Amino acid sequence: MLQPNLTILVIDENAIRASIIEEGLREAGHDRVTVIHEVNGVARIIETLKPDVIIIDLENPNRDMMEHLFQLTRTVSRPIAMFVDRSDTASIEAAVEAGVSAYIVDGLKKERVKPILDMAVSRFNAFSRLQRELADARSALEERKVIERAKGILMKMRGLSEEDAFALLRQTAMNEKKKMSEIAQSVVTAAGLLM
């Protein structure tokens, strides 16, 4: 069962995502992993590294450069084909959906590569989720800030307690079927105009 470990090259301009993938690969027992963030000199790296698998994100405009490189593989290195099993359209579609593309040395057994691709896809998806959550958290923070400011304005202008100011905002939001942060924003904007 002992097989030499695969050499994997990860090309991703996004350093955080690249490190998430690298970590996943190492956890899965791959210790021959190289990560690069830019494609300058990639031809030389591929030549010396001779990777079995290359993972590159679909948002990278330099994919066309890689295609050219593989056209020259007669001189650079061995032929490389994209995706292991072309009949497995579901997992290929999942990869494209997630934004992952992979180049794999021709003839490599698919059982050896599929777990790597599956891992890359799930980590790409996890990263997108993380980004989405981060964006949500950021906007939640913004919303809380504007509610705090609106509350302060109401307390000052209408002499309300903090609790009553909050209740007023909430009640108005319910009456107008809007988000509390939207009502708060109107209060802040109106106060800016009036004061």
Partner 1 sequence: MSITQRNGSLGAPALVTQEGSRVLRAGFIPLVDASVLIAAAEFGFARKEGLTLELVKDVSWANVRDRLAFRQFDIAHMLSPMPVASMLGLGSNPSPTITPFSLGKGGNAITLSTRLFGRMQEVASLSDQASALDNAKALAAVLAEMRDAGEMPPTFGMTYPFSSHNYEFRYWLAAGGIDPDRDVKMVVVPPPLTSDALAAGAIDGFCVGAPWNMVASERGVGRIVAAKQDIWPSAPEKVIGMRPEWAEAHPETVSRLIVALDAAARWCDDPANHDGLAEVLATDRFIGAPVDIIRHVLAGEFSLDAQGHRRVIDRYFTFHGDMANYPRPSQALWIYAQMIRWGQTGFSDKGQASAAAAYRPDLYRNAIGLPDSVGQDDFRVEGSLETDAFMDGFIFNPAAIEDYANAFPVRSHLAQRASSADTDT
Assess 127 for contact with partner 1 (CB under 8 A): no
State how far the Cα of 101 lies from the Cα of 67, in Å rounded to an integer.
Answer: 12
Q: Residue 70, interface with partner 1 (CB under 8 A)?
A: yes
Q: Is 67 in the site for partner 1 (CB under 8 A)?
A: yes
Minimum CB distance to partner 1 smaller for 67 or for 163:
67
Out of 21, 80, 183, 184, which residue is the one contacting partner 1 (CB under 8 A)?
Answer: 80
**Part in contact with partner 1 (CB under 8 A); list of ranges 24-32, 88-96, 138-146, 169-177:** 88-96
Q: Whole-number minimum distance, CB 33 to partner 1, in Å?
A: 22
Q: Mask of contacts with partner 1, 26-65, x by CB under 8 A?
A: --------------------------------xxxxxxxx
Q: Which is nearer to partner 1, 96 or 137 (CB)?
A: 96
Alpha-carbon span 91 to 114, nearest angstrom: 9
Instruction: State in angstroms the smallest separation of the CB of 92 from partner 1.
Output: 6
Asked whether the beta carbons of 160 and 154 are under 8 A apart, the reply is: yes
Identity of the amino acid at 156: K
Backbone angles phi, psi at 63, to 5 degrees: -60, -35
The enclosing H or E element of 26 equals helix 15-27
Q: Does 9 bind partner 1 (CB under 8 A)?
A: no
What is the C-alpha separation between 53 and 61, in angstroms, rounded?
A: 19
**Residue pointed to by tokens 């061995």:** 78
* Residue labelled with tokens 């899965």: 28
Residue 173: CB atoms within 10 Å: 17
Contact status: 103 vs partner 1 (CB under 8 A): yes
- Beta pairing partners, 157: none
Residues near partner 1, by CB under 8 A? 58-68, 70-71, 74, 80-83, 89, 92-93, 96-97, 101, 103
